[in-house]
Structure 1
Amino acid sequence: MTLPVFSHAGTMRMIQAVIPHMMERKEGTIVNVGSITALAPGPWAGAYSASKAALHALSDTLRVELRNFGINVMIVAPGGTKSNIGSNSADKYDQINDWKYYKKYEKSLRARTDISQGAGCVTAEDLAKRVVKLVLKKNPPAWFAYGQFTAILTILYYAPLWFRDYFYRLVMKM
């Protein structure tokens, strides 16, 4: 199976570019968009969840490092959000090189993609409006989770691993 490569090099370059200006002004807010899946990664989302978890760790570190310079760092952890990344993922199944190994999981793979684009998911515009409203506050929050599945994935984060594994096997019918 060909795994997607997610890099946050662009995020790092942008942060490195704006920090000196924010330091001079002694204010600013860096907003990184992670994902709630970083808390409780499920099947078929390993590379994506790992990439987002790395961004969460970077944000947590920067928040502490930059606080004394008047710079806030906020991590946005969206849940199910209708977006191009989700709608384009379904097209990738036709590109799986070793499909014979995954054919029996096709329904589960497609469900994983569809779940973030289905009924009850927030729109990207709604998420963006809420984030902007929070960023413009005098003291923006360090963490903002919003969207479908944020509550259940937060609970799974604190649950024992055996329970998380059981939950995913049950839900994803694996």
Structure 2
Amino acid sequence: MVTGQFHAQPPAGGWDADEFQATFLEHYGAIYRHLFRLLGSQEEAEDLAQEAFLRLYRQRFPPGREHNLRAWLYRVATHLACNALRSQRRRERRERAEAGRAEPSGGVDPAEAVLREEERDAVRRVLGCLRPREAQVLLLRYAGLSYREVAEVLGVAPGSVGTLLARAEAAFERAYRAAAR
């Protein structure tokens, strides 16, 4: 039974509409925000959040065990985002190769909005340069997951999350400073 707690027993035989709706309403906002931080696109974040919940709806969990639905959803959403980013990078490289170095120019924005967007882009680029696990641990903690939940998403012991996080923060700082030069 899904109770609104982070640990719940999803039905082995399928979801009841009310249970699934309650789970969706409880977790959708956080999953969407996590995906938006990763992707920077409302449309992509919405699409992938819906895909994550569709996968949850279709998922058959083994009976008799509790599952951390929040951690499961973050894991699926993070994998979907990584796949989307890889596809986007390949597409961008292909388009640049075909069209030279033509970059789309957006409308004129206020200076502050431009600076904020440049900062977000810089952070995304630096995250893209990190090893996948380093980027994941940073993003999962930034999304508010506990060490235990981060450990479950990454498939590591909870005691190792602090070390992984410290190393990821150091790698991010080095890469960010190098990119700023």
Q: Report TM bin, short chain.
A: 0.3 to 0.5
Work out which structure has the larger RCO, using CA pairs closer than 8 Å and 6 or more positions apart in sequence.
Answer: 1
Q: What TM-score comes out, normalization by structure 2 length? A: 0.35
Structure in which a larger fraction of residues adopt helix: 2
Structure in which a larger fraction of residues adopt strand: 1
